[in-house]
Amino acid sequence: MPKQPVVSARQLVGVLKRLGFSLVSQRGSHIKMCHPDGRIAIVPNHKIIKKGTLKKGILNPLGISIDELRKLL
């Protein structure tokens, strides 16, 4: 299993935009992004996103693997 990269909110938003997501809104420190197929991602606007939040809260529900994320960074 590949080691999970350390990712900031800015980097993750860039990756999601490359995958077709667009910025919908921001409320406080949470950025809401939506894909044309209906998938929604909530990204915490922090310098470093915790590993569990990244994997279980953002990538797994969207169907994005760690390898895909690493390639798009």
Output the six-digit token pair for 33.
Answer: 């992004």
User: Domain total for the chain?
Assistant: 1
- Whether 2 maps to a domain, the answer reads no
Residue 5 confidence (pLDDT): 87
In this prediction the pTM is 0.89
Asked if 68 and 2 count as a contact pair (C-beta separation under 8 A), the reply is no
CA neighbours within 13 Å on the CB side: how many for 68? 12
Q: Which domain holds residue 29?
A: 9-72
Closest to 12 (Cα-Cα) out of 28, 23, 25, 27: 23
Q: What is the pLDDT of residue 9?
A: 94
* CATH number of the domain enclosing 32: 3.30.920.30
Banded pLDDT at 40 (limits 50, 70, 90): very high
User: 65 Cβ partners below 8 Å, 6+ apart?
Assistant: 59
H or E element at residue 64: none
Residue 1 placed within a domain? no
- Average pLDDT over the chain reads 92
